[in-house]
Structure 1
């Protein structure tokens, strides 16, 4: 469990893009130090540290070695300015489905479904009192509100704001908004990510789990069950998954050959399932 993913800073996707480009140019290096990035790009060391932390949480780089993940490589090669909705939805799902990033995870999975209006002070006080046994009083009083504020800033003042999850309602106050619809292929990637993390090797996932289980795409993205089933139906019609509904069976069958990388190829290579 980590209290700080952002260290109180909102994501700077222009700088993230610069770092991704630099990492791409390093080829097959097994590890890239932060000092190399600082020296080569001229970004202040503390900013690089914060950005690398967020890039790890977003699934763009591997932890500790700071090399590109397949997702990070696909983005810098095909969507370096984070223009595609699919890119933003996948980032949102990856970081929000990981309980290790306790503040981000709890805001998306507990706070947002519970109320419609938010203030950083109220959220910091009401939803994180249990963390006092894990962190010092100073950390809770000083760093927790900054982390809460940076998560809200990410969805209101960075590229993630284009998802429409939050709106601003005065200084330090926010309101639940009406998100744009998640593209079918982005949902499929999230489904495979969920399967690979929680049931690796499984060829099928219970449909109700896809909709409602903890850290599932339906739950994290906060979609009503009918909308999840509509997306799955679209993917079934496109031949990318198979819905099996017989007697007591209600599941999504996934091909053994369908991988996250395949879906990234469809997203960034032009094939679609919409």
Structure 2
């Protein structure tokens, strides 16, 4: 497993950066392909002009485009294109007005098969408390890299912990430069909150804030589920979901009930086990993503 620790150039994702990828790099065309050298050093002047940001921010936009799996890089054809999720999001919700678009990208960041965003994972894993301070998260990361022989400086870990917090919780008091007066789009989810200016914690998301099809998307991305299985234990899916999106059991069951009502699943309660059985094990990523973005959600935090 490769752990993603750095590469963001000390910038958290900014509100208009995600749309810039679509409108500036791909010129508002979901099927557009551009030369993969767009982000290369010898093309940096062109990228600066097109994106309207400095060179360090160009590098950061490249990082976040890959981190949230918005962009695909085809090494054979040497082209950049929008990913399947990027195409559907930008065709249906180019300005990220639907919170489900951000939840899709959040799932993308944590459901990679060969990579893991270290700070994101250590902050959200079930075995840790939902409440943490900046210092306890930094210490958690230091212990992990030491135990797993991962090369990462203390400065890099501190920097990325700060980026993680600012991605979900924006502190206006730190904003002094007018050019930096841009918040992270993920702060609108109000997922990470702060208590007493020191303790950060993830709030539990209600069933009305996300599409029930997010559960199917997590299975599709995390387990390549629908190519191998047609059932999973209810508790297993609950645990898997809470490693990505915190939700209490009552609200989780409400999402399960919605999937039952729309005919996607049935629940087998025989042998004292609750198995979720999927009626269609040939479900596609495109189908799930379209269903997610057909849902309207309201942030409650």
**TM-score per shorter chain, which class?**
0.7 to 0.9
Aligned equivalent of 2:241: 217
Instruction: Using the TM superposition, give the Cα deviation of residue 163 of structure 1 relative to its aligned residue in structure 2, in angstroms.
Output: 2.3
Aligned equivalent of 1:116: 131
Shift of the 37–16 alpha-carbon distance from structure 1 to 2, 3 Å rule, reads farther
TM-score by length of 1: 0.81
Instruction: Using the TM superposition, give the Cα deviation of residue 255 of structure 1 relative to its aligned residue in structure 2, in angstroms.
Output: 0.8
Aligned equivalent of 1:96: 110
Distance 2:248 2:270 in 1: 23
Distance 1:151 1:209 in 2: 27
- Specify which of 43, 60, 64 is matched with residue 50 of structure 1: 60
Note the alpha carbon deviations across 1:80-126, whole angstroms, 9 max, x for none.
22121211222222213445211221122268x4152412x332124
Distance 1:238 1:61 in 2: 32
- Specify which of 15, 18, 43 is matched with residue 17 of structure 2: 15
The alignment's C-alpha RMSD in Å is 2.9
Instruction: Using the TM superposition, give the Cα deviation of residue 13 of structure 1 relative to its aligned residue in structure 2, in angstroms.
Output: 3.0
Q: Secondary structure at the match of 1:228?
A: helix
Structure 2 stretches lacking a partner, 5+ long: 171-183
Q: Contact between 1:86 and 1:185, CA under 8 Å: does it hold in 2?
A: no
More helix, by proportion = 1
1:183 aligns with 2:211: yes
More strand, by proportion = 2
1:6 aligns with 2:33: no
Instruction: Using the TM superposition, give the Cα deviation of residue 272 of structure 1 relative to its aligned residue in structure 2, in angstroms.
Output: 7.5
Instruction: Using the TM superposition, give the Cα deviation of residue 271 of structure 1 relative to its aligned residue in structure 2, in angstroms.
Output: 6.2
Distance 1:249 1:118 in 2: 36
Distance 1:41 1:11 in 2: 14
TM-score by length of 2: 0.75
- Specify which of 263, 270, 278 is matched with residue 239 of structure 1: 263
Aligned equivalent of 2:72: 62
Q: Secondary structure at the match of 2:193?
A: strand
1:159 aligns with 2:185: yes
Structure 1 stretches lacking a partner, 5+ long: none
1:41 aligns with 2:68: no
Instruction: Using the TM superposition, give the Cα deviation of residue 74 of structure 1 relative to its aligned residue in structure 2, in angstroms.
Output: 1.6
Note the alpha carbon deviations across 1:179-231, whole angstroms, 9 max, x for none.
442332333322332342x674433333232122xxx2243213334433331
Shift of the 257–236 alpha-carbon distance from structure 1 to 2, 3 Å rule, reads same
Q: Contact between 2:266 and 2:279, CA under 8 Å: does it hold in 1?
A: yes
Q: Contact between 2:218 and 2:241, CA under 8 Å: does it hold in 1?
A: yes
Distance 2:7 2:245 in 1: 20
